[in-house]
Structures are given as structure tokens and as C-alpha cells.
């Protein structure tokens, strides 16, 4: 397959695109404009797309079957070289597409020179990028499902574990730890749905659009789409090369997922403080202090919380890149891949370690239960009066006064006698004392979507199904 003589020299690094230019670019310009340092991770997708393109060219008789086979064989050899670390990358190649084509010509001569027939780097990079995301999004979805399963595992073990729910970071009403965790499961289900929607919008084949206006050559776009497994073809050639909505869709889903992971991390950080003391971090997910020997720091969770800003920034950067671009292709779009790569490299390990962390957290059930009592039961008392015919606003005022007086006297709700309650309303009876139990509080909250053990078990069963 090697080519003799001057053919290799004609395709040396930096020469493939030199026809229009009398002088070569300055090294500084080559370094600044090159995307090869980061887009080389697209090599498998570039090779897949090129093989499908070559097969199509042979089908419509723009190249011979033998040439298509030679191209395919050469591309597979290049793939093995890159995987083995033997491929010589050169920044003068600009990007992974030229790097592979240059090497293909070295290996196959004129057959390799025919590969770019009816193709531009504009539609080629759009194809590679879509193929890459089509491979990566299912991986992200699988990681989301692993975290979801981890949360369901912990929730199943803590259906009866009572804890306070919060509003404004103040203890509000009793819930169960399981009910709390299922809120994150619902968030992750929405994340999974968003990534699936992003995948569906990515699943359109742009190759054949050329630089922007298609080609005069009679190609078969449907054949390429079928070989590469695309659900449909991008219909407008200008949109095909300039569209990055699919990347925005991915980054939007990734940014919101990162926000959810950040919120989750923040709660674990709070729960494991001495002030909350609801949980203890496992040693293998903690770090120490270089100065304070007693410290067990949640660095992992803090970094997940901090790295969410990167992913949000990736989305904002992508939108900013696109907002002023005229149709069709502009080199600004070279920045799209780094944004997506960065988001992927951030959310995938964050999902993985979070899924492994949850089952290893040790919860202090007694501390959580104690924090769920007291004034967190005030709403239950108001609803007690409502059940006995009192308008809610009147009940709200009475219980508010009862809470105020109890605090003033230095007592807790659990310290009050039936006489103390009746001083605020004659509607209180001895059974009101049963309302001062946080377990009973969540047990009777059996409205759909509520935290009662029965509702939570039913919900877990449905989510596991």
C-alpha cells in the first residue's frame, strides 16, 4: 500500500491545502488555528464516516470498488496506528480530518486523493461531531441510571427514617430520608429524558451538504445515513454545516444535570457537618487537612459543586459562539468541540463517583429523627384544628401564637400539656398529644406524592419497575 517516490512528498504535512497559497502559514498562525490538539479524539468517528463515504462513492461509480476497498483498508490501518500511539500527529495538519487524509494518501496514493470527492470539511466535521455525541450520550444516560439506582437502593433502606424537610434552610416539616432522596431520582429522570431528546435531535446525517451548497455530483446521502445508522438526513445543506443546536441541546442537558449534582453535593456537605450531624462521610471519599489533624473534608463534593460552574460556562460559551454567526460555516465553530468535550469530561466522572458514594454514607437515624420534631410539627397542629371545622387562617394564627408563647416560656412543643393547648383553643382534645410524634406526622401524609411510608414504598416500586 505504500507509495513510492515523490507522491509522499506531495502530501507532506501542511501541503494538502496549499494550492491557493504561494506562502505557507507562520508557525504561530498554525499553532493558534489548529484544532488537532483536542479534536483528535474524533478519529474513530472520522474514520467511520470516511469509510461510509468511500462506500457510497463506489456505489454511485465515482470511484471503483477496488479503490473503496483500498481506502477502507488504509483507514483501518490508520485507526490501529492511532490506537497504538504510533501515528505521527503534526500541528500543521490543522485538524484530525486533514491528519487522517494526509496519512491515507501516504498509504494509498491516488485512491486516498479521491476520498474527499463530494465532501467538505464543513459537512465532515458536522458528521464526526454528531457521531461522537451519538456514542457519548448513551454513556451519560447509563451513568445517570447508575446514580438513580444507587439512590433507590439507599431510599429503600430508609423509608421509615424520619428527618426534617427544609424551606429557607429552616426546619419546616417532617419527611423521610427516602422521600427526600426520591426527589433527586425524579430530577435524574428528567435529566435522562433531556439527554434522550438531545440524542434524537443529534441523530440526523449532515454529510453530502458539502461546503454549504451540496455538490453537482450525483451522490447517495441515504446510503451513507443507513450505513452510519442515522435516523434521518439534514434536509437543508446550509443548515447541515452551520447547525450546532444539537450541541447546545447536549450542553443544556449537561448544565442542568451538573446543577442537580451540585445541589445534591451541597446537601451531603451540610448533613455531614458537626452542626447537622445527620451523616458521616466514608473515609475513602474524604480528604484531610495539611494542618488540622482532626479534619475530614468533603473535597470531592465541593469539587463537584465547583465544577458545575464549568459545565454552565460551557453552555454559555456555546451560545455566545453561535449568537452572532451568519450562515454558514465560520471557524468560530471550531470552539464547539472543546465545550462539549469539557462538559463530558466533567459530568461523567462526577456521576460515577456520586453513584459510588451514596450507599457508603452512614446516616445517624436518631439525630435526624430528633431534628424532625418540635416546631416542625406546627403545621400538623394547624391542620388538626382545620379537621375540627376551623378556617385555616384562624388555625394558622392560633398555632403561631402557641409557638410564640412556647418559645417565650423556654419550652418545646413536646413539653406542653393538654391544658396548655386548650388555653389557645377549646377545640384541642387529649389526642392532640399524638400529633407531637414525627413518625406519626409522615405516616398520615398519604396524599399522592406525599412522604408516608406506604406512598414512598409504592413510589420506589414504580421507579424500580
- Catalytic (active-site) positions: 168, 289
Report the alpha-carbon distance of residue 126 to residue 120 in Å, rounded. Answer: 10
Phi then psi for residue 232, to 5 deg, are -160, 175
Q: Please, what's the b/e burial string for 250-276 (b: 16 or more CB within 10 A of its CB; e: otherwise)?
A: bbbbbbbbbbbbbebbbbbbebbeeeb
The SS3 of residue 221 is helix
Are the C-beta atoms of residues 108 and 3 closer than 8 Å to each other? yes
Q: What angle do CA 255, 259, 265 make, to 5 degrees?
A: 140
10 within 8 A of 117, measured Cβ to Cβ: no
| 446 phi and psi angles, rounded to 5 deg | -100, 15
Give the list of residues 6+ apart from residue 400 with CB closer than 8 angstroms, or none.
378
Strand-pair partners of 164: 174
Q: How far apart are CA 438 and CA 283, in angstroms?
A: 32
Closest CA to 72 of 97, 96, 55, 60: 55
Amino acid at each position: 500500500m505504500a507509495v513510492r517516490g515523490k507522491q509522499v512528498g506531495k502530501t507532506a504535512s501542511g501541503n494538502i491545502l496549499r494550492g491557493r497559497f504561494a506562502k505557507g502559514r507562520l508557525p504561530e498562525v498554525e499553532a493558534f488555528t489548529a484544532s488537532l490538539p483536542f479534536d483528535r479524539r474524533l478519529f474513530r468517528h472520522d474514520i467511520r464516516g470516511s469509510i461510509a463515504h468511500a462506500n457510497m462513492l463506489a456505489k454511485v461509480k465515482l470511484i471503483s470498488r477496488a479503490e473503496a476497498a483500498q481506502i477502507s483498508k488504509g483507514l483501518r490501518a490508520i485507526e490501529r496506528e492511532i490506537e497504538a500511539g504510533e501515528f505521527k500527529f503534526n500541528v500543521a495538519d490543522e485538524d484530525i480530518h486533514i491528519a487522517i487524509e494526509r496519512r491515507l494518501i501516504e498509504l494509498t496514493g491516488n485512491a486516498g486523493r479521491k476520498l474527499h470527492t463530494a465532501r467538505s470539511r464543513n459537512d465532515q466535521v458536522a458528521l464526526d461531531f454528531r457521531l461522537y455525541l451519538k456514542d457519548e450520550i448513551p454513556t451519560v444516560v447509563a451513568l445517570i441510571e447508575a446514580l438513580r439506582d444507587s439512590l433507590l437502593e439507599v431510599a429503600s433502606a430508609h423509608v421509615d427514617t424520619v428527618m426534617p424537610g427544609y424551606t429557607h434552610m429552616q426546619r419546616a416539616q417532617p419527611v423521610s430520608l427516602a422521600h427526600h432522596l426520591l426527589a433527586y431520582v425524579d430530577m435524574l429522570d428528567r435529566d435522562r429524558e433531556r439527554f434522550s431528546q438531545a440524542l434524537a435531535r443529534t441523530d440526523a446525517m449532515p454529510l453530502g451538504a458539502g461546503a454549504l451548497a451540496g455538490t453537482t455530483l450525483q451522490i447517495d446521502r441515504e446510503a451513507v445515513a443507513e450505513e452510519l445508522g442515522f435516523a434521518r438526513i439534514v434536509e437543508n445543506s446550509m443548515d447541515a454545516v452551520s447547525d450546532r443546536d444539537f450541541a447546545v441541546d447536549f450542553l443544556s442537558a449537561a448544565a442542568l444535570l451538573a446543577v442537580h449534582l451540585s445541589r445534591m453535593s451541597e446537601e451531603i456537605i451540610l448533613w455531614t457537618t458537626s452542626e447537622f450531624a445527620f451523616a458521616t462521610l466514608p473515609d475513602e471519599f474524604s480528604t484531610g487537612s495539611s494542618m488540622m489533624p482532626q479534619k475530614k473534608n468533603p473535597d470531592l463534593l465541593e469539587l463537584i459543586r465547583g465544577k458545575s460552574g464549568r459545565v454552565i460556562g460551557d453552555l454559555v460559551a456555546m451560545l455566545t459562539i453561535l449568537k452572532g454567526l451568519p450562515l454558514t460555516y465560520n471557524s468560530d465553530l471550531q470552539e464547539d468541540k472543546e465545550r462539549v468535550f469539557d462538559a463530558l469530561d466533567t459530568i461523567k466522572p462526577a456521576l460515577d463517583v456520586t453513584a459510588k458514594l451514596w450507599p457508603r454514607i452512614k446516616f445517624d437515624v436518631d439525630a435526624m429523627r430528633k431534628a424532625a420534631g418540635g416546631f416542625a410539627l406546627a403545621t400538623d397542629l394547624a391542620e388538626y384544628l382545620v379537621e375540627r371545622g376551623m378556617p385555616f387562617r384562624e388555625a394558622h394564627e392560633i398555632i403561631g401564637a402557641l409557638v410564640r408563647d412556647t418559645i417565650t416560656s423556654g419550652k418545646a412543643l413536646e413539653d406542653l400539656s393538654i391544658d396548655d393547648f386548650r388555653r389557645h383553643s377549646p377545640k384541642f382534645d387529649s389526642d392532640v398529644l399524638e400529633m407531637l410524634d414525627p413518625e406519626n406526622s409522615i405516616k398520615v401524609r398519604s396524599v399522592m406524592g406525599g412522604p408516608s411510608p406506604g406512598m414512598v414504598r409504592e413510589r420506589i416500586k414504580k421507579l424500580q419497575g
